Amino acid sequence: MDPDVIHIRHMRTGWFLALGVLSACTPPAVSSVDVPVQAPDPGLAVEAPRGRLPMPMGNPDQCTDQDVVPGASYPRLLTRTEYDNTLRDLFGLDVAHDVAFPPENETLGFANGTSHAASSLLVELYLKASERAARRGLGPGSRYADHPCVGHGDAGCVGDFVADFATRAFRRPLVDEEKLILGRVYDELAPALGHREALIATLEAVLQSPQFLYRVERGTLDDSGAFRTLDSYELASRLSYFLWASMPDDALFEAAARDELSTEAGLVAQARRMLSDDKAASALREFHAQWLGLAQLHVYDKDPDVFDGYDPSWRSAWADSVLSFITHETFFAGGDFEALYTSNAVYTDATLAPLYGLPESNDMARHALPPDVYGGGLLTQPGLLAALANANQTSPIKRGVFVREHILCEVLPDPPADVPIVPPDPDPNATTRERFAAHTAEESCRDCHELIDPVGFGFEGYDALGRHRTEENGLPIDDSGSLMYTWSMDSALEGDFHGPVELAGRIGKSDQARDCYATQWFRYALGRAETGLDVCNLGVVRHKFEQHENVRELLLDIVRMPAFRTRDLGEVLP
């Protein structure tokens, strides 16, 4: 490599480290921010059978201001989606940096929690992405392309330009030291690189800095000394990444500058505005993709020897189909939670339509299918059923675990360490139910699989591609199932059922399912698990959700939580 290039790169690295010293967020080690998955205070929850996790429920009528305890706030590294969305909104166009970041470590199934941390590989990829993004971000179509300071090197103009860019990138006003360092980056590189290249290099330094890559919420000590209150810029950032999975827009920055987000009314007014923007639909898809584990569709292929004509392009189409269903049926169609489990709509494009015998369309088109077969909403979505299956056969275990853990928020015991997790080989002379019967017959497996398999067997009317079927290997399908021993012990939820449509109808009316859905949004919004101290924060949100059953209002209720606007007195980085 050219020595001058090496020298310049070292200079850039030096400025990156200098900015890091000022950073509000030194990249945390995963081990230092472990998020608990069990309720930490047994006194706030009743004992659950079979080791499952009860969810403490606060009584809104008994919660006082003193009961609302702020939770922890850890620095959070931008996810791949948040990073790309932030670059898009920072530059005003999709800069297409063409760098493939590795998957994030997840916290309770979500990528935007504290388990996602920087590594040496990720830092190197950020370097590449920032170099490409900064260059393309000053090109045609960018919000900065016609800025007068891009074309000439007037010192005052460059200083203002860089300060404005970094303020938006850091999602807050700069401190004097940051302005000084960024000015020196340009000044020291300009003689060697020329004006435009030095300007690009300065933007790279901004995009490589921890202030850009991490979301940090210090807060200001409250008068009571009991907690810290987030300032308007911190709330603008928390709100935008919650509802848009991206940085604040100009209107949100302006509201923060006027300190309008320091009141609940001002915060909720901005949230309502943001929920009407198309970017809210994108973030909604991101939440549900993570909650439902749809990433596994992109990893596992189906066996072409079993499913003739299998095309790997089905995987992304399946995920898009499920997310289109959720976005249109439960958000834009009024936001009714129960519709998530009662709608008979299925969305297909030209890739999937022939697979299900539906009219072809280039875009995802809505089809109202027979409600007795596909009227289970989410539980009868072909894409989800395909995700919850093996390469060559269905999987009652995956489908049963999904209902228990994702839909009902139950934590199942781990399988014995000495038991191999291998599905039985397909048998042309038996049904899947018959092959999997060994799980409940084997004593070491019985306790767990008595909770899982009877639920999963109820989905046997759908094959590993999500197609409805009435027989398997020439034998009639038995789609009878049973859901028992839920932690809520809700008699309307528990019991025998035939097929996922019947099960989904019960789930859609279930307090446990609504509480679980609200809890998943809580985890996603705050990037952490609920704890026993969140009884009144989360409990009030759940109670309100049971009253209005509206997804949009649920998100607004989370924004209203004191826990959304405050943080505890834990470690605050300098």
* DSSP string over 145-209: TT-HHHH---HHHHHHHHHHHHHHHHTSPPPHHHHHHHHHHHHHHHHHH-HHHHHHHHHHHHHHS
Cβ-based neighbour number of residue 194 at 10 Å: 11
Query: What average pLDDT does range 70-81 have in this prediction?
Result: 88
Contacts of 370 (CB under 8 A, 6+ apart): 344
pLDDT given for residue 331 in this prediction: 82
Query: What average pLDDT does range 33-38 have in this prediction?
Result: 29
Contacts of 40 (CB under 8 A, 6+ apart): 531, 532, 533
Q: What is the pTM of this model?
A: 0.88
pLDDT given for residue 564 in this prediction: 93
Q: CB–CB of 113/528 below 8 Å?
A: yes
For residues 9-20, one letter each, b for 16 or more C-beta atoms within 10 angstroms of the residue's C-beta and e for the rest, the string is: eebbeebbebbe
Residues 328 and 522: their CA atoms lie apart, in Å, by 22
Confidence class for position 52, pLDDT limits 50, 70, 90: very low
Query: What average pLDDT does range 40-47 have in this prediction?
Result: 30
Mean pLDDT of the chain, nearest integer: 85
Confidence class for position 416, pLDDT limits 50, 70, 90: low
pLDDT given for residue 422 in this prediction: 65
Residue 5 pLDDT greater than 70, yes or no: no
Q: Please write the tens of the pLDDT for every residue from 537-549.
A: 888 899 999 999 9
pLDDT given for residue 518 in this prediction: 95
Confidence class for position 333, pLDDT limits 50, 70, 90: confident
